[in-house]
Structure 1
Amino acid sequence: MENGRLEKQIRLPLDELKLAFAASCVEGLARKTGKPYIEVYERMSRVGAIENYILKNYDTLHTESREYINNKERSTAC
């Protein structure tokens, strides 16, 4: 890239990155199952999948494919 083209880079705090990742996981599972986002979110929250699985294992999970994560979440949340 040319010098000066990336004058400003946005750097988000890790907590914001984790929450954005969790939201994308919920959205991906909602799309895969054909269920409303809020229903998937509520179910995943109820069983602790967001707090105890996605956020807790962010360092490993964000390197995995979406298909792997959605399959794992589906078995955890349902």
Structure 2
Amino acid sequence: MKQENNRIQLPLEEIKLAFAASCVEGAARKLGVPYIEIYERMRKVDLINKFILPHYDTLHTESREYLIEDVIECLTNWEKKASHQ
């Protein structure tokens, strides 16, 4: 973390992890379930490491509403795929 012109600049890795956390929280809020439930579901299909973090550059430019819908849709699809394996 460095400070520049009275602004704190975080390392990109920290920004990405905060973004992933906000995706978990946003999905949980939208679905009306505890965030830990969404986190566990995402962990089981490795959604954070295989979708959210690698596609951060694209995902963080989406509107919040579209982003959360996209994350929920991806989670649901990956869970269905995992259950058929």
| Residue type of the alignment partner of 2:13 | D
The 1-side partners of 2:35 and 2:43 are apart by 12
Letter of the 1:41 counterpart: Y
Aligned to 2:80: none
From 36, 39, 43, give the equivalent of 1:38: 36
- Secondary structure of the residue that 1:76 maps to in structure 2? helix
Aligned residue among 16, 26, 29 for 2:27: 29
Q: Tell me the matched-pair count.
A: 73
TM-score normalised by L of structure 1: 0.86
The whole-number CA distance in structure 2 between the counterparts of 1:47 and 1:76 is: 10
Extract structure 1 runs of 4+ deviating beyond 2 A.
none
Over the aligned positions, Cα root-mean-square deviation in angstroms equals: 1.3
Q: TM-score, normalised by structure 2?
A: 0.80
* Structure 1 spans left out of the alignment, 5+ residues: 1-5
Q: CA deviation at 1:7?
A: 4.5
Query: Could you say which structure has the larger radius of gyration?
Result: 1
Residue identity matched to 1:34 = G
Question: Secondary structure at 1:10's aligned position in 2?
Answer: strand
The aligned counterpart of 1:3 is none
Shift of 1:49: 1.2
Which of 68, 71, 76 aligns to 1:70? It is 68
